[in-house]
């Protein structure tokens, strides 16, 4: 099973994602909520917006490097992401296979 996971993820996290994705399929579509464009900074305890995040003419989030975005962005949401209520309005869901 090829999941194209980020090479920088710790093996323990990769293993958890592989187990989760063996049971669940990701469904849905992007609602352009921008939640995948924020990351947590442990030193400050805050979420920070990606430098490439901006808005289009309809005030929807848009990525300036969408076609070349890194794996964590492409693979969002990872299984572990949905342990947080922060992503409640994301258009993606997980359903049992």
Counting the structural domains of the chain, the total is: 1
Determine, yes or no, domain membership for 6: no
Determine, yes or no, domain membership for 44: yes
- Percentage of the chain beyond pLDDT 70 is 82
3-state secondary structure of 69: coil
Determine, yes or no, domain membership for 4: no
Per DSSP (E only), the strands in 1-97 are 24-28, 38-41, 46-49, 53-55, 61-63, 92-96
Model confidence band, residue 51 (pLDDT cutoffs 50, 70, 90): very high
- Which residue segment(s) compose the domain that 67 sits in? 11-96
Model confidence band, residue 1 (pLDDT cutoffs 50, 70, 90): very low
pTM above 0.75, yes or no: no
Closest CA to 61 of 78, 49, 48, 76: 49
């Amino acid at each position: 099973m090829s999941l194209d996971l980020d090479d920088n993820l710790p093996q323990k996290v990769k293993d958890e994602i592989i187990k989760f994705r063996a049971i669940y399929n990701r469904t849905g579509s992007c609602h352009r909520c921008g939640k995948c464009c924020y990351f947590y900074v442990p030193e400050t305890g805050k979420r920070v917006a990606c430098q490439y995040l901006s808005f289009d003419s309809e005030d929807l989030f848009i990525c300036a490097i969408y076609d070349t975005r890194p794996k964590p962005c492409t693979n969002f949401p990872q299984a572990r992401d949905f342990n947080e209520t922060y992503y409640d309005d994301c258009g993606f869901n997980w359903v049992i296979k």
